[in-house]
Structure 1
Amino acid sequence: MCVVLGAGRFPVSGIQYLANLTLFNAPLGVENVDVVYWTLWAELRFYGVVLALILVGLTRRRVTGALWLWLGAACVTASGVLPALLSRLLEVPVQSSWAHYFVAGMALCLVTKYGPTRSTVLLVLGSYALALHHATGFAATVADRYDEPLSPVVATLAITLIFLVMTGIATGWTRRLGRGRFVHAGALTYPLHAHTGFILFNLFADTVEPHVLLTAVIAAMGAAAYALHRLVERPLTGVLLHRLQGSPGRHKARHGRG
């Protein structure tokens, strides 16, 4: 759709497309096909940290210690006191711009599993403070990029709300609100792509009333995401899981020979 209807605004080369399929296009210096893909490289690095913890051995004490080390490394890396080369190397696993969210999420996971402790509460509070510090600076950067004012107060309120909601989930405050349909609604966010919305707005901005266009785009994108999720993602996930896990018969035969 970007190529056909983008009117040259979102060109994608073959090399760029193939590099994005590997999920390692960011460290290779290849631009994302869609702006929202920037999160994938951050996720991959997080999974690398988790893999390292699994290899060491997951215990509450080890995970808690690793989270303190991670949060401290993020503060040091972001401070600019390290030599440039060392800072760039540490930035790969540390991710100082986003470490506070990963640390807070893992600390809240410990809260869910073991209950709150002084260490996990301090980890969440420290992550919250670091998130506010980065969010206000990021708000100014985004405001300059799009030449639109973005209030640091709004950024602060948004970060605070996110931490409150996640804390409520971890401590069970929201358990009565849990519904299966929320899980399905969350799954619909994966097929959505920012450039598709940009293209639709650009195509119809001059001919459709803005509020009508916004409502129509939201409805159309929601319907397309639902169709992709039900007709493509869910069936394909089932096939892949079956292939990766093997058939029940094969597992029984393997256990029988043991």
Structure 2
Amino acid sequence: MTKSPLLPSILLVGCGKMGGAMLEGWLAHGLAPSVIMDRHLPELPAPHRVVRTLDAIPAEFKPDVILLAVKPQKANGVLAELAPRFPNATLLSVMAGRTIASLLKAYRVGHAAASPIIIRSMPNTPSALGAGMSGLYAPPEASEKQKKQCEQLLSAVGETVWVAQEGLIDSVAAISGSGPAYVFLLAELLEQAGVEQGLDAKTARTLARGTIYGAGQMLHQLPTDAAELRRNVTSPGGTTEAALKVLMASDAWPQAVSTAISAAVNRAKELAS
């Protein structure tokens, strides 16, 4: 049996919820020897290495991709510190809101002549299970090799799409980056409603989670439009129709979801300023 090729080597800067989710997926798929810079992560098995500071990165280590997974508000100091060591790196940012221009400006504080190629992405936490959804944007100067390496990393933990304009990454963040939280909220609310209607908590949780899982599988595996799948469940005059009349009222889900997504996009733009 032929062994699958290793994923590109990375320097992962920040291993919180998002960075940690992706790292779990990459380790499962076979990651080339890599370094993770994080203050709290325990040691990893060889050939990978965890370091607490940039100074602890082995001098001979030359990652294919530097993946930036720190909080957007804390990125400037990290970027300025990285620049002298890796002036012409391929940077893959998974930070919401931070534009390529703002990241490049911060990088050049540490090395005025640095010329990194910065590719932006917005993955989500199901990446830990290999079920992630990531959007990517690459500037025109990015090479096909650089784009392929970044896509290879994200494809190993789920599905990927490319967007043609950098600003659309904010929309990706609002839909799929934050999207799991919306689904988890729906699960919470279904569980609560089940208990209100007399079910015990364990049964309500099983019903809510199993239903979301099954519906997600249908959306993933069937080519049928979501609206058609909804109509297929909705018998005229039945229980589903009664519920949907409430949820689909103009001032209910249609307005709330649109307003929520706009709020997420606007917040991403605020983080860029």
TM-score, structure 1 normalization: 0.24
Instruction: Return the structure number with greater helix share.
Output: 1
